[in-house]
Amino acid sequence: MKNTMDYLTIALPKGKLFSLSADLLAKAGYTAEGLSDKSRKLVIANEEKKIRFIVSKTADVPTYVEYGAADIGVIGKDVLLESGKDVYELLDLGFGRCHLMMAVPKAEKRAKLVDYDHTRVATKFPHIAEQFFNKHGMQMEYIKLNGSIELGPIVGLSESIVDIVETGTTLRENDLEEIAYILDATARLIVNRVSFKLKFDRINQLTEELRKILELEQQAKAGA
């Protein structure tokens, strides 16, 4: 087995954030031949630059980073908060912007948020949802789903959902209405606590390079 101290191991999530993350890292020169979320090869190395990429299920990225199986990773703030993993957050990458909210069927909308006390909420984010409802003094029954959350109230599984909204299309097409904002999310660069000490120079250099690239992109956008 390779000595992992020689390599910088980067965990990337499959799905929506993959190409945005891989493209940004490539701009800083961090890439590897054959890096793709479609590849069946799960570890892809760049031997010359001593970089290894792990491509994993979105929800597993914080786990790889917390245990040090990956030094750094890219993950949405929503998934990071839900995971409760003990990692450092180095940089807000700005992309993958969305927000977490509570929505209900338009036709059966109740007058106030507290009118949903002691009802069922379908979500991929039960921990974040529980914190939100606790803050409002509400006790809910949390039904964990892994996708198509909007289906919950439509088929009578739950009275509401807590889910991500980006464009609002999914809510509109399913006659749901947002009734409470919970939090904003964007992709974050995260790092394992021990790796950050042991590989500080490499990780700091990468962070600064990414920060510069993001700043230039922001300036170009503002000037356009």
65 binds ligand ATP (CB under 6 A): no
Burial of 132 (0-12, 13-18, 19+ CB in 10 A): buried
Q: How far is the CB of 118 from ligand ATP (least distance, A)?
A: 28
Binding mask 69-88 for ligand PRP (x = CB under 6 A): --------------------
175 binds ligand PRP (CB under 6 A): no
Burial of 80 (0-12, 13-18, 19+ CB in 10 A): buried
Whose Cβ is closer to ligand PRP: residue 20's or residue 28's?
20
Q: Is the dihedral of CA 128, 167, 185, 148 positive or negative?
A: positive
Q: How far is the CB of 61 from ligand ATP (least distance, A)?
A: 9
155 binds ligand PRP (CB under 6 A): no
One-letter identity of residue 165:
V
Among 169, 220, 221, 224, binds ligand PRP (CB under 6 A): 169
Q: How far is the CB of 111 from ligand ATP (least distance, A)?
A: 29
Six-digit token string for 222: 């503002």
Binding segment for ligand PRP (CB under 6 A), chosen from 29-37, 66-74, 79-87, 158-166, is 158-166
Which residues, including other chains, have CB under 8 Å from residue 185's CB and lie 6 or more apart? 76, 77, 78, 96, 97, 98, 99, 100, 164
76 binds ligand ATP (CB under 6 A): yes
Beta bridge partners of 12: 55
Q: Which positions touch ligand ATP (CB under 6 A)?
A: 14-17, 57-58, 76, 78-79, 96, 98, 164, 166, 185
